[in-house]
Amino acid sequence: MKIPDYIKNIIEKLENAGFEAFIVGGCVRDLLLDKLPKDWDITTNTLPEQMLTVFPDAKYENIFGTVLFPIKNDKGETEQIIEITTYRSEQGYSDRRHPDEIKFEKKLDKDLERRDFTINAMAIKQFSIFNFQFSIKETKEIYLDNEKYLLIDLFGGEKDIEKKIIRAVGEPIDRFKEDALRMMRAVRFACQLNFTIEPKTQRAIIKMAGGIKYISNERIRDELIKILSSNKAYEGIIMLHELKLLQYILPELERGIGVDQNRHHIYTVFQHSVLSLKHTPSQDWRVRLASLLHDVAKPQTKKLINNEYTFYNHDIVGAKMVKKIMQRLKFSNNDLEKVVGLIKNHMFYYNVGEVTEASVRRLIVKTGEENLKDLIDLRVADRLGSGVPKAKPYKLRHLEYMMEKVRHDPISVKMLKINGDDLIVLLKISPSPKIGAILDVLLSEVIEDPKLNDKSFLNNRSLELNKLDLNQLRQQAKEKIEKKKIDDDQEIKNEFYV
């Protein structure tokens, strides 16, 4: 793996100015794993003010000794920002998140000691720009892209990479006292790298798990997204549970532990939820989160009727719960709407013998065309997470066929052969909410029969609808929608409600 010339140039300039400088942290780990680092970090014994004399274009606006150096293209545009940080040690973490005191250091070993895990506590530099007397014994010559480098590894990070181990630097309890988010980061690295957390670090996480309560919801959210985005999302949630962290992150999910279901399931609610995550076809973390939380309301909607457990409205209640969960964790509105919508609609009814093209169009309108594939993936995950051997039965394959069949049919007001401007001219009225109400009624009728999407018919029908007042129009549109919703809901309950 080749290190960019601009990184070498930064180090060389600092060396030529009489200072030390190393590539450090996660990018060293990635290089040893033969992965291209996403970010490059440099550490040095240069004080921030001194760095600004070496790099006049750099900026320094923080207390952590981090100088931001812009990498520019031929046009003078900034393409990347490199962080160059002064060696430092940190003391006191009264809020369990930030150091109370930061001290700039002269030696690299002090800087490496403050880092979280051994695999992230290594530094390297190129031999060709190694022009000072080095004092650290724990060094090794390595080759990257046929170039010779010096690896500084005080804590056995290289061996831990070889053994695929996540190990805290020094005493793990101290590391987690410094920043409790490191416990989630341990799980995240294990998922991303397919590593295991070594026993001593595991025991420390279990002991210190409550400290995660002091971490901001935004930071927890970001780590959760990274876990769900990894190839080991299922294993990550299991680790969070076994390490006693999940109860503080998603307590609603853990309420499903030991909650039995009905004849359609062989697993408890919690087991089913995590297995649904495991079997989610989609790589999208939002769909995976929906799979994990789609039955989160079952514990509170569970009732025994005629010796059979039911969970009526767990989809609706669950959608409301997940909305609160995602608001608590500060997810964006777009992500929230996506996940909540999938959970709200995950019980969609589809029976090949009864389905019509109109019902498929209504489903598309209800869920959003962009969400249908994800909704099917959620249904597949739900089935496999229930212990059902066949992921995609004929019903779902038939739904995909029907979706393709009707995908060009009108399913939105924009697809009608008449628009608001047409109605203003035709009906000789000013722009008003009544225009939208008429279009809504027209759309509901066209969804039932696309042949009605004819300009002449829509004109005549609009003239008829214009005789109604706004409330009557809204009521008519609502009645059409509600009737189909009641019919669909009843079909679900008649078939099963799992």
**Tokens 């829509």 map to which residue?**
458
The separation between the first and the last C-alpha atoms of the chain, rounded to the nearest angstrom, is 51
Instruction: Return the structure tokens found at 383.
Output: 């089935």
What's the confidence (pLDDT) of residue 102? 87
Would you say 4 and 122 are in contact if contact means Cβ atoms under 8 Å apart? no
Would you say 221 and 286 are in contact if contact means Cβ atoms under 8 Å apart? no
What's the confidence (pLDDT) of residue 139? 81
Would you say 17 and 54 are in contact if contact means Cβ atoms under 8 Å apart? yes
Cα 260–Cα 336–Cα 372 angle in degrees, nearest 5: 75
Please report whether residue 488 resides in a domain. Answer: yes
In angstroms, the CA 322 to CA 340 distance is 6
Would you say 86 and 114 are in contact if contact means Cβ atoms under 8 Å apart? no
Q: How many CB atoms lie within 10 A of CB 216?
A: 12
Window from 213-217, 358-362, 452-456, 494-498 with minimum mean pLDDT: 494-498
Window from 136-140, 323-327, 459-463, 493-497 with minimum mean pLDDT: 493-497
Window from 129-143, 171-185, 381-395 with minimum mean pLDDT: 129-143
Helix (H, G, I), strand (E, B) or coil at 122: strand
In terms of domains, do 192 and 310 share one?
Answer: no
In terms of domains, do 153 and 45 share one?
Answer: yes
Give Cα separations from 394 to 74, 333, 367, 381, 382 (angstroms). 57, 35, 21, 16, 16
Would you say 148 and 127 are in contact if contact means Cβ atoms under 8 Å apart? yes
In terms of domains, do 33 and 171 share one?
Answer: no
- The band of 264, judged by pLDDT with boundaries at 50, 70 and 90, is confident
Instruction: Return the structure tokens found at 182.
Output: 């490191």
Q: Helices marked H in 99-156 — which ranges?
A: 108-113
In terms of domains, do 108 and 195 share one?
Answer: no
In terms of domains, do 23 and 99 share one?
Answer: yes
Please report whether residue 269 resides in a domain. Answer: no
Beta-strand runs (E) in 7-146:
21-24, 41-44, 66-72, 78-86, 88-91, 101-104, 122-126, 139-144
In terms of domains, do 393 and 425 share one?
Answer: no
pLDDT at residue 493 is higher than 60: no
Helix (H, G, I), strand (E, B) or coil at 464: helix
Please report whether residue 284 resides in a domain. Answer: no
Segment 333-339 shows an average pLDDT of: 97
What's the confidence (pLDDT) of residue 249? 98
pLDDT at residue 292 is higher than 90: yes
**Pick from 196, 221, 249: which residue ends a domain?**
249
- The band of 497, judged by pLDDT with boundaries at 50, 70 and 90, is very low
In terms of domains, do 150 and 73 share one?
Answer: yes
Nearest to 116 by CA among 175, 35, 191: 175
Instruction: Return the structure tokens found at 434.
Output: 């009544």
- Cα radius of gyration rounded to whole Å, the chain: 30
Segment 70-77 shows an average pLDDT of: 85
Beta-strand runs (E) in 116-259:
122-126, 139-144, 147-153, 165-166, 196-197
In angstroms, the CA 492 to CA 354 distance is 13
Domain count, the chain: 4
What's the confidence (pLDDT) of residue 304? 85
Bridge partner list, 88: 104
Would you say 267 and 385 are in contact if contact means Cβ atoms under 8 Å apart? yes
- The band of 492, judged by pLDDT with boundaries at 50, 70 and 90, is very low
**Pick from 406, 440, 456: which residue ends a domain?**
406
Beta-strand runs (E) in 190-302:
196-197
What's the confidence (pLDDT) of residue 464? 94
Instruction: Return the structure tokens found at 243.
Output: 């390490």
Q: Helices marked H in 255-370 — which ranges?
A: 269-278, 285-293, 298-301, 314-328, 333-344, 357-367
In terms of domains, do 118 and 20 share one?
Answer: yes
In terms of domains, do 443 and 305 share one?
Answer: no
- Residue type for 498, please? V
Residue 140 belongs to what domain range? 5-160
Structure confidence by residue, pLDDT tens digits, 389-442? 665 666 777 776 777 777 778 878 888 999 999 999 999 999 999 999 999 899
Please report whether residue 259 resides in a domain. Answer: no
Please report whether residue 298 resides in a domain. Answer: yes
- Residue type for 297, please? A
In terms of domains, do 98 and 215 share one?
Answer: no
Please report whether residue 19 resides in a domain. Answer: yes
3-state secondary structure 146-170: CEEEEEEECCCHHHHHHHCEECECC
In angstroms, the CA 226 to CA 326 distance is 15
Would you say 363 and 487 are in contact if contact means Cβ atoms under 8 Å apart? no
Strands 122-126, 21-24: pairing kind = antiparallel
Residues of 351-379 as b/e, b for ≥16 C-beta within 10 angstroms?
Answer: eeeebeebbbbbbbbbbbeebbebbbbbb
- Top pLDDT among 361 and 481 is at 361
What's the confidence (pLDDT) of residue 365? 77
**CATH number (domain holding residue 17):** 3.30.460.10
- Top pLDDT among 205 and 4 is at 205
In terms of domains, do 143 and 23 share one?
Answer: yes
**Pick from 372, 406, 440: which residue ends a domain?**
406
Give Cα separations from 206 to 115, 183, 241, 243, 246 (angstroms). 20, 9, 10, 5, 11
What's the confidence (pLDDT) of residue 289? 99
pLDDT at residue 135 is higher than 90: no
Instruction: Return the structure tokens found at 183.
Output: 């416990």
Please report whether residue 257 resides in a domain. Answer: no
pLDDT at residue 488 is higher than 90: no
In angstroms, the CA 386 to CA 121 distance is 43
Q: What is the mean pLDDT of the chain?
A: 88
In angstroms, the CA 412 to CA 244 distance is 47
What's the confidence (pLDDT) of residue 256? 96
- Which residues, in sequence order, are CB contacts of 289 under 8 Å at separation 6+? 228, 339
**CATH number (domain holding residue 195):** 1.10.110.30
Please report whether residue 191 resides in a domain. Answer: yes
The whole-model pTM stands at 0.83
In terms of domains, do 55 and 199 share one?
Answer: no
